[in-house]
A and B are shown apart, each in its own frame.
Chain A
Amino acid sequence: MKPAPFIHHVPKTIEEALAILAEVAPQDGRVLAGGQSLVPIMAFRMARPAHLVDINEVKGLDKLAVEGGKLVIGARVRHAAFHKNVVDGPLGKLLTYVVRHIAHYPIRMRGTFCGSLAHADPASEWCLVAATLGGEIIAKSKRGERVIAAANFFEGIMSTSLAEDELLAEARLPLLPADAKFGFYEFNRRAGDFAMAAALVTYRVAGGKIADARVGVGGAEDRPRRIPEAEAALNGKAAGDEAFRAAAEAAAKAVDPLEDVQTSGEYRRDLVRAVVRRALEHSA
């Protein structure tokens, strides 16, 4: 249970970090952010990176601010930053509600929002938030900068479209309209565990009818995503039990659930039905 040897790089600026990353990435060099996923994996020797580019002292990566209608979250922003409201309105409330479901307090002191996205665990709450709300990922490398839509970022279990020499410099989440409602629900067996299925929903009510519905499901498939069938079951309907049940049913039908030794696909499908319905009930 001890990590294999590695060379520790501690850049102080983004330019320096990108230069080192470009050099060591081909030799299995990796970014070290909060270490709350990478260090356990190294302890198990499931990863044995030869170089770690530690970004904890890089200046300019701790930005947490609203710019152009988006919340900008730098690579050094820890989960615990969201224990408090970071932005007025429904998005801030959504983030303070969701963060409490991530791991445990001491892990939230170190783990980062962007590290969660880069790690891309299918059950990660932040990945679900980014996918559901239509977040953007800013990837920087010596070669330049690109913006990746969350919908194109997650490629499978712990796999993303980030290149090995790219730093996930920041994530951006669009603000929610002031009248947006949201609901989140996850199922797991013990407090702080990864979810076996989770759902995040947002919508507005206009003229008594649901509009702009977003239904995201995480932990059920190899990556979190919006479920258009469930959204269609909500838009134009009155917010209430009937529409919520129809959306939950549509989501359960639409997903292609992961299976593992403890959890059959059918069980996960049932969980998807339950978490979508409960997320919707919490939103009302």
Chain B
Amino acid sequence: MTEKSNITLNINGRNHAIGVEPRRTLADAIREDCGQTGTHIGCEHGVCGACTVIVDGEPVRSCLMFAVQAAGKKIRTVEGLAKGDELHPMQRAFMEHHGLQCGFCTPGFLMLAVGVLEREPDISNEDLLDVLASNLCRCTGYQNIIKAVRAAAAEMRGAR
């Protein structure tokens, strides 16, 4: 064991003061130390994308960052998408287009899609398809995820 450092993670606007070893991944810290279990962990080596969160406006794999590296940054997870009882357009689109079945991959896809569309609202359909190839889903066959994200992208663009 190495010594724990005391850090503060700001997740969805709320500060969490935690003590972690440097080797603690951001994904584990979010779930285990901060109790925000909406972020899922699949492969722990960067392949599946289930752990995708938004750090300072960038969608990243939280299993490939150490928690100490995210101290002082603005972290957004799936828990922060809805405004009270009102779902984010991306969440609503996933429901309406059946973009999920078991739901394990869903938090990762939502944060990926929201993260990219906030950075590049006018991204082409072709590039969006390439973005969605970042994450794995074992259930849906992807078509309904693509439909949902395209629908939400149109709505997010309209709301600008």
Of the candidates A7, A107, A190, the one whose C-beta lies within 8 Å of that of B46 is A107
Given contacts A5-B23, A7-B2, A40-B45, whether A105 and B134 have CB atoms under 8 Å apart is yes
Given contacts A5-B1, A105-B116, whether A40 and B64 have CB atoms under 8 Å apart is yes
| A6 contacts partner chain B, Cβ-Cβ < 8 Å | yes
Please report which residues of chain B, range 124-157, place their CB below 8 angstroms from some CB of chain A when the two chains form the complex. Answer: 130-131, 133-135
| B58 contacts partner chain A, Cβ-Cβ < 8 Å | yes
Q: Could you tell me how many residues of chain B have their Cβ less than 8 Å away from some Cβ of chain A?
A: 31
| A155 contacts partner chain B, Cβ-Cβ < 8 Å | no
Given contacts A100-B130, A106-B112, A192-B134, whether A4 and B23 have CB atoms under 8 Å apart is yes
List A contacts of B65 (CB < 8 A): 35, 39, 110
Name the residue of chain A whose CB is nearest to the CB of B58: A109
Interface residues of chain B: helix, strand, loop or mixed (majority):
mixed
Q: Could you tell me how many residues of chain A have their Cβ less than 8 Å away from some Cβ of chain B?
A: 28
List B contacts of A40 (CB < 8 A): 45-46, 64
A6 contacts B130, C-beta separation under 8 Å? no
Given contacts A6-B23, A8-B68, A40-B64, whether A104 and B45 have CB atoms under 8 Å apart is no
Give the shortest distance, in Å, between B65 (CB) and chain A (any CB).
6
The proximity string for B residues 56-85 relative to A, scoring 1 for CB distances below 8 Å and 0 otherwise, is 001111011110110000000000000000
Q: How many A-B residue pairs have CB under 8 A?
A: 86
Name the residue of chain A whose CB is nearest to the CB of B62: A106
| A189 contacts partner chain B, Cβ-Cβ < 8 Å | no
Please report which residues of chain A, range 171-224, place their CB below 8 angstroms from some CB of chain B when the two chains form the complex. Answer: 190-192
Of the candidates A7, A44, A54, A107, the one whose C-beta lies within 8 Å of that of B61 is A107
| B21 contacts partner chain A, Cβ-Cβ < 8 Å | yes
| B52 contacts partner chain A, Cβ-Cβ < 8 Å | yes
| B107 contacts partner chain A, Cβ-Cβ < 8 Å | no
Given contacts A7-B2, A8-B22, A39-B46, whether A109 and B60 have CB atoms under 8 Å apart is yes
| B89 contacts partner chain A, Cβ-Cβ < 8 Å | no
List A contacts of B58 (CB < 8 A): 106, 109-110
Given contacts A100-B130, A104-B134, whether A8 and B116 have CB atoms under 8 Å apart is no
Give the shortest distance, in Å, between B14 (CB) and chain A (any CB).
23
B112 contacts A5, C-beta separation under 8 Å? no
List A contacts of B99 (CB < 8 A): none
17 contacts between A and B (CB under 8 A): A2-B25, A2-B28, A3-B23, A5-B2, A5-B23, A6-B2, A35-B66, A42-B23, A52-B22, A100-B130, A104-B49, A106-B58, A106-B134, A109-B58, A109-B60, A110-B64, A191-B133
